[in-house]
Amino acid sequence: MKIGIYPGSFDPVTNGHLDIIERATKLCDKVIVAVSCNPNKNPLFTLEERVQLIKEVIKPYSNIEVDTFTGLLVDYAKEKKASMLIRGLRAVSDFEYEFQMALMNRKLNPEVETIFLMTSSKNSYLSSSLVKEVARLGGCIEGLVPEVIKKAITDKL
């Protein structure tokens, strides 16, 4: 079974994330959306809320699991018997950081490959941080996140 892990903070999950998740389901028998617990970030949603929101929006897919992890991603991948890490790229600016991480992950565990998926052009400017900033300032986030996420952001703010 080909297992792929799509890691991230997903605070909140956006339509850009969902684009990558959907496309990853075509490459893998199973996709694990792995929500990271990063103590250096100040998330809007708790870890549990992020997991629940992702579970809500991935209901149409039968080959997706949502989980959380801490520590090294390659250790988590080994634990889950995953052979690939899936990373989304929006622009060239994402590539330098992601390339560096992919090389480090390969050094730590050469059996796990990193697969880069370019987001669709309609989502290339989209980030969780930008969605939260626009929402905090009273802007419209329609079409940037699924409706259930939009409601959760509105309720939280």
Computed over every residue of the chain, the mean pLDDT equals 92
Q: Does the annotation count 55 as an active-site position?
A: no
Architecture per CATH, domain 3-155, reads as 3-Layer(aba) Sandwich (3.40)
Binding-site residues from annotation: 9-10, 17, 41, 73, 87-90, 98, 123-129
Q: Which of 30, 50, 90, 132 is the catalytic position?
A: 90
> For 24-46, what is the mean pLDDT?
90
DSSP letters for 79-101: HHT--EEEEEE-SHHHHHHHHHH
Residue 26 — very low, low, confident or very high, per pLDDT cuts 50/70/90?
A: very high
Binding-site residues from annotation for ATP: 9-10, 17, 88-90, 98, 123-129
Neighbours of 72 (CB within 10 A): 13
Q: What percent of the chain has pLDDT over 70?
A: 99
Which of the pair, 55 or 60, is modelled with greater confidence?
A: 55
Residue 121: per-residue pLDDT? 84
Q: Does the annotation count 50 as an active-site position?
A: no
- Residue 40's H or E segment, with its range, is none
Pairing verdict, β 64-69 and 30-36: parallel
Q: What is the pLDDT of residues 72-116, one digit of tens each?
A: 999 999 999 999 999 999 877 788 889 999 999 999 999 999 999
